[in-house]
Amino acid sequence: MKPLAVSMGDPAGIGLELAARVWADPAAAPPFFLVGDAGAFERACGRLGLSAPALNIVEDAASATADPARLCVLHTPLAMEETPGAPDPVNANAIIAAIERAAGAARSGAAAALVTLPIAKSVLHTAGFGFPGHTEFIAHLTAQDTWGGTRGPVMMLAGASLKVALASIHTPLARVAGELTRERIVATGRVVGEALRRDFGVRAPRIALCGLNPHAGEHGHIGLEEIEIINPAAAQLRAEGWDVGDARSADALFHEQARATYDAVIALYHDQGLIPIKTLHFWDAVNVTLGLPIVRTSPDHGTGFDIAGQGVARAESFRAALQMAWNMAARRASA
């Protein structure tokens, strides 16, 4: 299988430090090549006190190889040298280009999958980046590619004991109820069910569905969304053959016994899903995009500008993202 493509993210953050840590201690990490500025990676190594690695700098993804002795870098130069902790909009175009080139490598088959290091959306917006985040941008880049499943994107946060998918992602809380529709929840359920089978090897997926209101609406006494939208969506999914129950009270859905009753849960808004996953898997959760023609994962954290350059950033989530991307790509390749 081809190596993974890793986009550099914001070079002023901790992303390249994570790549340097994993490259310096590759035990159990799948092979990858970096799409980004070669000098920035070397500087990240230096800030960690690591020996500068031997690099194989290439100009196109087709030339990227997996070599345990030399890190392959698809060179995407910065406009100016990074300053840890101080993101500079002048590098926004290079950060965007790295995502595009890494996604292109996965789309062409030059990479088995895409793993993205963290970006700061506010920096990229200065360069006309018109997307809420990585998830939506990668969906845009792959929109015209052939895909046999239900098309996402659906954001899932995954750890060993919990997988949470989101029916809405970066939607302001005041707008969530108005934007939830039966069709949106049904489409999310299809994407999640298909991904559990195809990408995670779950033959008969069991999917739980959060309610929107306290106590899942208390039979309509604390809101009608469960009765009018959420439960009808669950019924439609069951009619299609999916094992999906009606809305359950979110405050009782994430303890150990409850988690044993499902393979993944669909949360209806951002914090409803991210609070439990980050409570259980703060250091090693993975952000994975479902329903796309390519496999894409990412560490489940941000750029860490406040600790960049200090040598304290932990690489568990990035290492887990590499492994999950590799496993998913292998399942797709063997299907």
Tokens of 30: 């799948």
Distance of alpha carbon 192 from alpha carbon 174, whole angstroms: 25
- Kindly indicate the confidence band of residue 68, based on its pLDDT and cuts at 50, 70 and 90: confident
Q: Is the pLDDT of residue 65 over 90?
A: no
Write the CATH number for 154: 3.40.718.10
Please give the pLDDT value at position 53. 83
**Average pLDDT for residues 96-108, to the nearest whole number?**
98
User: Are 121 and 176 in the same domain?
Assistant: no
User: Are 135 and 167 in the same domain?
Assistant: no
How far is CA 247 from its chain centroid? 25
User: Are 101 and 137 in the same domain?
Assistant: yes
User: Are 187 and 106 in the same domain?
Assistant: no
User: Are 168 and 236 in the same domain?
Assistant: yes
Q: Is the pLDDT of residue 26 over 80?
A: no
The 3-class secondary structure across 164-228, one letter per residue, is EEECCCCCCHHHHHHHCCHHHHHHHHHHHHHHHHHCCCCCCCEEEEECCCHHHHCCCECECHHHH
Q: Which one-letter amino acid corresponds to residue 187?
A: A
Q: Is the pLDDT of residue 27 over 80?
A: no
pTM comes to 0.96
Tokens of 66: 């997996």
Share of the chain above pLDDT 90, in %: 92
Tokens of 295: 């496999």
Opening angle at CA 133, ends 242 and 153, nearest 5: 20
Q: Which residues on neighbouring strands pair with residue 297, listed in sequence order?
A: 115, 288
Q: How many folded domains does the chain comprise?
A: 2
Measured CA to CA in angstroms, residue 281 lies from 67, 158, 276, 317 at distances of: 31, 8, 8, 9
**Average pLDDT for residues 195-211, to the nearest whole number?**
98
User: Are 6 and 129 in the same domain?
Assistant: yes
**Average pLDDT for residues 145-167, to the nearest whole number?**
97
User: Are 273 and 225 in the same domain?
Assistant: yes
User: Are 166 and 307 in the same domain?
Assistant: no
Q: Which residues on neighbouring strands pair with residue 73, listed in sequence order?
A: 34, 57
**What range defines the domain where residue 280 resides?**
148-291
| Last residue within a domain, chosen from 275, 291, 307 | 291
Condensed to tens digits (0 to 9), the pLDDT of residues 279-318 reads 999 999 999 999 999 999 999 999 999 999 999 999 999 9
User: Are 134 and 161 in the same domain?
Assistant: no
How far is CA 184 from its chain centroid? 20
User: Are 120 and 175 in the same domain?
Assistant: no
What is the DSSP secondary-structure string of 107-123?
Answer: HHTSSS-EEE----HHH
- Choice between 203 and 69, residue whose per-residue pLDDT is larger: 203
User: Are 81 and 173 in the same domain?
Assistant: no
Judged by DSSP in three states, 36 sits in: strand
Condensed to tens digits (0 to 9), the pLDDT of residues 171-199 reads 999 999 999 999 999 999 999 999 999 99
User: Are 132 and 34 in the same domain?
Assistant: yes
